[in-house]
Amino acid sequence: MNIEHTRPPHGGHGEPGITVLLRRMHDVVAEEGSAQERLDRLTKAIASHVVADVCSIYLRRPDDDLELYATEGLNRAAVHKTRLKWGEGLVGLVADSHRPLVTSDAPHHPAFSYRPETGEDPLHSFLGVPLIRSGKALGVLVIQNTAARQYTDEEVGAVQAVATLLAEIAASGELLSQEETAAVGEMLHRPERLKGFPIVAGVARGKAVFLQPPAPKHKVFATDLSVEAARLEEGLSALRVSVDEMLAKNASLSGVPREVLETYRLFAYDRGWKDRLRMAVFSGLTAESAVEQVKNENRARLLHARDPYLRERLHDLDDLSHRLLRVLSGETTTDKRTLSEETILVAREMGPAELLEYDRETLKGLVLGEVSATSHVAIVARALDIPMVTGVGDAIDRCEEGDTLIVDGDAGEIHIRPTSGIIEAYQAKREFQTELQAAFVKERDLPAVTKDGVKISIMMNAGLALDMPHLHETGAEGVGLFRTELQFLIGSQLPSVALQEAFYREVLDLADGKPVIFRTADIGGDKTAAYMDRGAEMNPAMGWRGLRIAVDRPGMIRPQLRALLAAAAGRTLWIMFPMVTIADELDHARGLLDREIERAKRRGGALPEEIKIGAMIETPAAAWRADKIAEKVDFLSIGGNDLAQFYFAADRDSEHVQQRYDPMNAGFLSFLKECVARAGKTGAPVAYCGEQAADPVMAATLLGLGVAQISLPATSIGPFRRMTRSLNAGEVAAWLDENMPRRAESLREDFAAFLKNSGVNLE
C-alpha cells in the first residue's frame, strides 16, 4: 500500500487542532457506556479542547422544546430539567435563526433568558451553534466563559465543525438511544411548507426526485483509518478521470464557458482540497464524512467571501463534493434515471435542454432554487404546462428522495410530506382548476373584443409539436412565437435539414391552416448546445447570440431556412429573426434567405406561396429605431423579457438583481408605449410575445399601451380572453397616460386596484 494511504497528513494547513478534536470525539463515541455517559464525555472533550469554562448540548424534543442533554461546567442537576421554548433565550434564538450567535456579554443580550438551576450566573461570553441536519435545527452546541471575551473565527469554525458532526451523530443512531434516535428521525420527517415564487400555474403531487441526488447514508466514524484513506484516494482518482472525460467530450456544457470548466478541473486536482480531505479521514472520519466535513467548511468560508468570484466557485466545490460522494457510494453512471409515475423534480438549477430529457408523462412538477420567471427553463416548463415553483433553494436539504411533495404553482408554495388534510385540500383545488379550464374551453370561440369594441388578436407560444393541439383547445388564432431552438439544444449535433424539414412540416400540418410564426434558432446566451464552441464571454446575454450568430455563421441558419422553405411549400411561411439590434442586420438575414430561395428554384424545389418576414424587438437600440426596422419587414414582435432585461441592465436570471427587473415600472411602460407608437406610424403590425403577458395585470397594461396582438402560453389564453372581454381599453389607456408621467416607481399595485374597481376579471 502507498505510504500516503496510511500516514496522517501534517501541518501546513492550520487545522491540526480540529483534527485532534475530531479524533477525540471518535474515541468517545466508540467507547462502551450509556448514551448519557458518552454525551457527558463529549462535552468534556470539547470544553477542554476549546478552553471553555462551559460546554453544553441542547437537543430538540418532539414538542420543539430545547432540552439540556449534557453539560461540562453547568450544574449537572439541570440536565434533562432545563428546557427552553423554541426561540426563547440565546439558545432558542440560535435554533430558530439556524445561525451561530456570539456575544461577550450574554446577560445583557436582549434575548437572554435566565435559568437559575443551571448556575450560569458568573458566565459572560457565549458562543452558540445550531446542529443542522436536512435543513432543520436538531439542537444547539453552546460554549461559555466567565471572562468577557470575543471568540476568534478559528474557534467559531471549530465549533461549527463539531456541531455538524453532532447533528450527523444524532441522526445516525451512533450515540443516542433507540427511542431518542427515532424521535430525531420523526422530527426530520415532519410535514413542511416552504414559500417561494410562483412560476408556472397549476397543482401537482408526486414523489421527490433530485436532479443531483445526494450520496446514500453512511457511517460517521471510521473503524479502520487505512481502509478509509485508501477509499478516499481511489475515489479521488475516479473523480478526476470522470472530469477529464467530461472536458474531452464537451467543449462546453449547458452553456458554461470553457474557462469555467477548466477551473472546475483545477479544483478536482487541487492538492489543498485533497490534503484537507485526508486530514479529516485521519481524524477518525469515514471517507464520506470527510467529504461532507470539508464541504461544510468551504461553504462556511466562501458564503461570507467578499469576492463574488469566490462565492460563485462554491457551486463548483459543492458539485465536486457531490460527485465524489456518489463515487464513494459505488455509483458508476451519471445517466438520467427513469422517472416513476407522479414525479416532482427537485434541483437548485437546471437548463431547458435538461428538462426536455425527462418524460412528460411522468414529470408532474418542478421545484427549483436559483432560476427566475423568465429563465428559459421556466419558459419551457410553461410550454409543457408543468407546475413550477422557484426561490426554494433549501428544498433539496429539507426533503429526501421518495418524499411526497405538493407543488402549488399558483401560490408559489411546496408542501413536503403533506398531511392527509393538505392532500385532500389540494386535490379539491386541482379538481376546481380542471373545472375552470373546462369553462375556458367553452369560451374559446368567443371573440376577444374589449367592452369598447377593440379587437385583440390572441396567439399562442409554442416550441414543441406536442404544443400544437392546444391551438384548437384554446381557440388561439395561430402561433405567434414558435421557438425553433429547442430542436437545436436537445441533440448532440446540429440537426440535419431533413430532420428539421420533417419537424416543421408536422407543426404546420397540426396548425391546420392557422399561421405559425417560426423564430429562427435563438442560440447563445444561456442557450448553448454541447456541440457549439463559442469561446468564453464575460457577458453571454449581451454577446454572440441570436441573429448575430446567424449572420456570422451562415452554416447554421441556412440549413434551417432551407428546411423552413421546403416544409411550407404551397403555404404561407412566417419567419421571424431574433435579437435584432440595427436595421442593417436584417439586410444580411434577408440576403441569406434570398440565396436559399434561389437555390430551391435552381433545383426545382417547391416554394411557399407567400413569405412574411418579421423582426423581434428585444434591445433598447431596436426599440428606439423600431420605425426604421419596420420598414424592412412585414411585422414586428416585442420580446418583452429581453427588452426589460436590457432596459434595466439587470440579468433576469440573477437572484441578486431580479428585484430591479420590474416590467410594471412606469419608465419601462413609457418606453414600451413609445416603441409601439414608432412602429405603428409605419403601419406594420406589432405583437407582444414576452412571457410577461401571462401576468393578467401586465397583459391589461399592454392593451392600454396599444398592443393589439399578444402571444401567450396556452394555459394563459383562457384567462386572457376573459380579462379582455371585461376591460375598457380606452379607460385603461387614459389611466396609464395620466399616471405614467407622474410616477417613478412600479404602477402594479395601484393599477391592479384600478382594474378591480373597474370590474376587470383578473382571475
Cell of 522: 435563438
Give the C-alpha separation, 570 to 560, whole Å. 18
Find, among 712, 673, 677, the residue nearest to 692 by Cα: 712
Q: List the helix and strand counts (H, then E) for the chain.
A: 29, 22
What does the DSSP 8-state code read for residue 306?
S
CA–CA dist 185, 173 (Å, integer): 10
Say whether 189 is catalytic.
Answer: no
Catalytic residue flag (residue 376): yes
Report helix angle 308-328 to 258-268, nearest 10: 60
Give SS3 for 613: strand
For residue 738, count other CB atoms closer than 10 A to its CB.
10
What are 699's strand-pairing partners? Answer: none
DSSP codes, 572-605: EEEEEEEEE-SHHHHHHHHHHHHHHHHHHHHTT-
Rounded to whole angstroms, how far apart are CA atoms 195 and 408?
10
Please tell me the distance from the alpha carbon of residue 525 to that of residue 542, in angstroms, as a whole number. 7
The alpha helices in 61-111, defined as continuous H runs, are 89-97
SS3 for 198-246, per residue? EEECCEEEEEEEECCCCCCCCCCECCCHHHHHHHHHHHHHHHHHHHHHH
Catalytic-labelled residue, pool 49, 376, 415, 470: 376
Degrees (nearest 5) of the Cα angle 57, 63, 67?
20
What nine digits make up the cell of 600?
A: 430551391
3-class state of residue 69 by DSSP: strand
Cα separation, 704 vs 666, in Å, equals 13
Q: Which H/E stretch holds residue 408?
A: strand 404-408
Q: Which residues contact 117 (CB under 8 A, 6 or more apart)?
A: 75, 77, 78, 81, 82
Sign of the Cα torsion 229, 233, 236, 238 reads negative
**Distance from C-alpha of 102 to C-alpha of 381, rounded to nearest angstrom:** 44
Integer Cα distance of 636 and 758 in angstroms: 31
Which amino acid belongs to residue 243? V
CB atoms closer than 10 angstroms to residue 193: 12
Nine-digit cell at 190?
415532519
Cβ atoms of residues 404 and 205 within 8 Å? yes
Kindly state the cell numbers that stand for 559: 440549413
Residues serving a catalytic function are: 376, 689
